[in-house]
C-alpha cells in the first residue's frame, strides 16, 4: 500500500519557519514533521510514500536524497569517485516526490500523483499533523465499510468546518467546508497553507468531530477531482458524502496539527518530554 502526503502548501500561518522551507520540513526534535508522519505509517508496515510537493519542494528532495547517506557508514574512494555504503540505520522506505505545483489545491495535488498510485487502495494525509491513530485499524474499517473514502474523525477543541455522521455512526451523510452552524468541521482548504483557515471556523460543540486527515482512499476517488483548483475537502468530499461513499473512522486519542509556531512549540515540548503520544514506533 502507498501513502500520499500532501506537502506543497505555503504554510502562511507559520511563516517564521516556512519562509525558508516548506512546512512539512519544519523540525520537531531535530527531524522534519514529515519524517514523523512517515515513521507513523512505517510502524504499520507501510513504507511506500508519494510526496505531493510544491512550495520549496527542492528542500524535501534534498533531505530525502541525503537521508540514506547520512544514516549510513560510508567509504568514499577518491580515486574511483565511488561511494560504498556499509551499515545503515535508514528505514526501508521507497519515496517518490512529485512536483504538484505551487498553486494547486489539495484535490489538485492528489489528482497530479494519480500515475504513481496504481489501482490499489491508498492512504493519504496532510504533511503537517501527527496522531497516534491506529492506521491498521483504519484500513480494516475502510474495507469493512465498502466505501470509496474513509477519513479519520477526531475531536479537538471546537473549530473547523463540518460533516454529519449517519444513523450507523460510520457513514458521513453530509460534509461541509466551515459552515456557520453546529456540526463537525473540516480542517483546511486553501493552497496558501493546507491548514491555514481551520482556526477561523466558528465555535462548535465539544462533542463534534472534525476531519483529521489520515484518509484511506480508493483510486476512483480521483475521478471526483476536476482540476488543480479543486479543493478535495469541498466538492469531492461533499459529493462522496451525498452518495454514501464517505465513512468516518473515529479516533479519540491524540491528534495535533501544526498550524502555527505555537503548535510547533507544543509538539517540540511533547517530544522533549520523552512521551510524545504520536511516537508509536520503538
CA–CA distance, 36 with 157 (Å, rounded to integer)? 23
Cell of residue 230, nine digits: 479543486
Angle at CA of residue 149, ends 241 and 130, nearest 5°? 110
pLDDT digits (tens, 9 = 90+) for 218-243: 999 999 999 999 999 999 999 999 99
- H/E element holding 148? none
pLDDT digits (tens, 9 = 90+) for 76-104: 999 999 999 898 899 999 999 999 999 99
CA–CA distance, 200 with 214 (Å, rounded to integer)? 22
Q: According to the model, what pLDDT value does residue 112 have?
A: 98
Q: Shortest CA distance to 237 belongs to which of 137, 153, 139, 168?
A: 153
C-alpha to C-alpha distances, 216 to 61, 68, 86, 165, nearest whole angstrom: 25, 28, 37, 17
Q: Look at residue 131 and tell me whether its pLDDT is greater than 90.
A: yes
Q: Which domains does the chain have, with CATH numbers?
A: 2-272 (3.90.550.10)
Are 14 and 24 in contact by the 8 Å Cβ rule? The answer is no
Task: Look at the block and give the residue holding cell 515513521.
Answer: 39
pTM of the model: 0.85
Q: What long-range pairs does 262-265 form, CB within 8 A, spacing at least 24?
A: 263/14, 264/14, 264/17, 264/26, 264/28
Amino acid at each position: 500500500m502507498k501513502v500520499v502526503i500532501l506537502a506543497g502548501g505555503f504554510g502562511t500561518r507559520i511563516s517564521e519557519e516556512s519562509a525558508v522551507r516548506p512546512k512539512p520540513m519544519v523540525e520537531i526534535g531535530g527531524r522534519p514533521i514529515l519524517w514523523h508522519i512517515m515513521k507513523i505509517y512505517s510502524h504499520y508496515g507501510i513504507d511506500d510514500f508519494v510526496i505531493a510537493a510544491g512550495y520549496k519542494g527542492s528542500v524535501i528532495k534534498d533531505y530525502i536524497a541525503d537521508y540514506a547517506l547520512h544514516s549510513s557508514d560510508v567509504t568514499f574512494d577518491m580515486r574511483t569517485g565511488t561511494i560504498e555504503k556499509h551499515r545503515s540505520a535508514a528505514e526501508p522506505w521507497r519515496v517518490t516526490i512529485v512536483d504538484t505545483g505551487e498553486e494547486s489545491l489539495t484535490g489538485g495535488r492528489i489528482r497530479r500523483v494519480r500515475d504513481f498510485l496504481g489501482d490499489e487502495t491508498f492512504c493519504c494525509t496532510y504533511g503537517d499533523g501527527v496522531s497516534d491513530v491506529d492506521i491498521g485499524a483504519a484500513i480494516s474499517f475502510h474495507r469493512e465499510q465498502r466505501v470509496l473514502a474513509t477519513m479519520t474523525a477526531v475531536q479537538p477543541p471546537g473549530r473547523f468546518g463540518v460533516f454529519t455522521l449517519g444513523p450507523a455512526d460510520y457513514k458521513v451523510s453530509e460534509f461541509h467546508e466551515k459552515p456557520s452552524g453546529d456540526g463537525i468541521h473540516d480542517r483546511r482548504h486553501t493552497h496558501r497553507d493546507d491548514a491555514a483557515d481551520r482556526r477561523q471556523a466558528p465555535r462548535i460543540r465539544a462533542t463534534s468531530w472534525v476531519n483529521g486527515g489520515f484518509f484511506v482512499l480508493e483510486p476512483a476517488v480521483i475521478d471526483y477531482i476536476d482540476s488543480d483548483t479543486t479543493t478535495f475537502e469541498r466538492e469531492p468530499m461533499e459529493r462522496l458524502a451525498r452518495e454514501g461513499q464517505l465513512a468516518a473512522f473515529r479516533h479519540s486519542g491524540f491528534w495535533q496539527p501544526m498550524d502555527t509556531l505555537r503548535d510547533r512549540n507544543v509538539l517540540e515540548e511533547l517530544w522533549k518530554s520523552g512521551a510524545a503520544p504520536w511516537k508509536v514506533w520503538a
